[in-house]
Structure 1
């Protein structure tokens, strides 16, 4: 069984409120675990079935159940959450390779909510009651875990997330019901990183600025494409860039690298590219 998941609103910043609990935000991908009539199926938030990709999670619970959580991988060297590894796991389709990766790079399914249990729909119970039910269930193997939470102390938890270089936190109203839409009862606060970039061009068709950063020798190297830009910044950019064009090809217009800006982003990919860069301001 698939149910559209409850989605997060974005909080303007870390906050503390006794009406909320606060959880670490796990840097993986959303996963719904469905066990119905003893058959297990795994789904992404967009109802893409990915049961075959995670054989280590195909362990049955004592009763039929529908869980919501995040599936993630841990970097064996740093001990940190490794988003690229879980994406590699998700995209692998060949059976033998899936089995290899399940041994070499196993996932953890971090459960944060329960939607159905023993044939009952529990989404209309307040969050704290659902948490009590979840806490009382035996997990089937070491690849499952239940998310920890703290009550009220959101700002203190966020400071921990920043110091440990984790993705951020989620604040949830204690009395929130589970609804299949984006809701202000659940709010995320992302632990963004910031860096300065130089805009070296732009895409012709789909919007995007080519971003570059200096390498160790001071030479510019590509750092990805910035797609999240306000309309006001786009307008200012095009007025600045008209006189800077140095060439073009089928996909891109290239510019004299003089326009500098600041972006916020999730982290650096191992390839040296920015993950999800969001433009914040031009630098004069």
Structure 2
């Protein structure tokens, strides 16, 4: 298991925060899942898909001394903290760059931290120990620093932690059964993520009426404008659909299969739960048209 790719345990999606004395609750950090393998003075970082990315994070040399055991496999979230919260795009940037000069510059502009939330191995394997015991081991194994630290968690009070995460504009929380084993590559309801809905103002780039009504939404990014980021099919009232179609007919440009593209002059607010690495917004819901919004102002919020 040491220094070989491992498929981490998968978190399933939940709906609402809850209280339960059989669970612990952690903040959901917004970064990349990273498994750290350490033996002696050697440390390696693996992504959830098994790629070795150690060379991208010179900070890991500092982390070695903070792991107080000769051998360890730690399940972590790699993050970049900005203004008190983790920023997904900052960490993705660190994962994209390979040039040594850019990496050295990013040590200052995009410093990385590894938030450890589980231990799979130290002097022996811990996969079949209850989570609560693994949490206790984790606290003993790591001396917290800016580079690596155990995640905070509370017992029973998931609703309180959810409210705390919303106040800080964080991604959400994760609920985990205290007695759960670590099941490699498995997805079970022992680990549940409850994400905070986010809203964003988008440009309407097109629409379709078959197989059901939906609008194509887009955003501006630093390197590209009017990038499609999803299709929204829920949240519309019939009157809103009719009003939109009446206006959209005057803005038609080209038709491609089921999509009618329009001039990018209309904006709307949507709510979403997740986004992919390529900024496609998932579980998106229409919240309202923005008649006075300038499409030039609809940028991805980095």
- TM-score (ref. length: structure 1): 0.78
Among 60, 73, 80, which residue is 1:66 paired with? 73
> Is the CA contact 1:72–1:109 (under 8 Å) kept in the aligned structure 2?
yes
Q: Hey, what's the Cα distance between the residues in 2 that align with 1:142 and 1:33?
A: 16
> Is the CA contact 1:66–1:115 (under 8 Å) kept in the aligned structure 2?
yes
How many residues are matched? 260
Among 197, 202, 216, which residue is 1:210 paired with? 216
Cα pair distance change 1:256/1:224, threshold 3 Å: closer
- TM-score (ref. length: structure 2): 0.74
Counterpart in 2 of 1:8?
11
Shift of 1:103: 3.0
SS at match of 1:139: coil
Q: Hey, what's the Cα distance between the residues in 2 that align with 1:41 and 1:144?
A: 14
> Is the CA contact 1:261–1:279 (under 8 Å) kept in the aligned structure 2?
no
Q: Hey, what's the Cα distance between the residues in 2 that align with 1:47 and 1:192?
A: 30
Question: How large is the RMSD of aligned CA atoms in angstroms?
Answer: 3.5
Shift of 1:48: 1.7
Structure 1 gaps of 5+ residues are: 214-220, 231-236
Aligned ranges 1:44-83 → 2 under 5 Å: 44-58=47-61, 59-60=63-64, 61=67, 62-75=69-82, 78-83=83-88
Shift of 1:265: 2.9
Counterpart in 1 of 2:122?
117
SS at match of 1:55: coil
Higher mean C-alpha deviation, range 255-264 or range 193-202: 255-264
Q: Hey, what's the Cα distance between the residues in 1 that align with 2:12 and 2:233?
A: 19
Q: Deviations over 1:215-265 (max 9, x none)?
A: xxxxxx8474215757xxxxxx9xx97984722288974136799865323
Structure 2 gaps of 5+ residues are: 209-213, 220-224, 235-240, 290-302
Counterpart in 1 of 2:191?
186
> Is the CA contact 1:57–1:109 (under 8 Å) kept in the aligned structure 2?
no
Shift of 1:276: 2.5
Among 22, 26, 29, which residue is 1:23 paired with? 26
Matched, 1:246 2:249: no
Structure 1 moving runs of 4+ over 6 Å: 240-243, 249-252, 256-261
Counterpart in 2 of 1:93?
98
Cα pair distance change 1:101/1:198, threshold 3 Å: closer
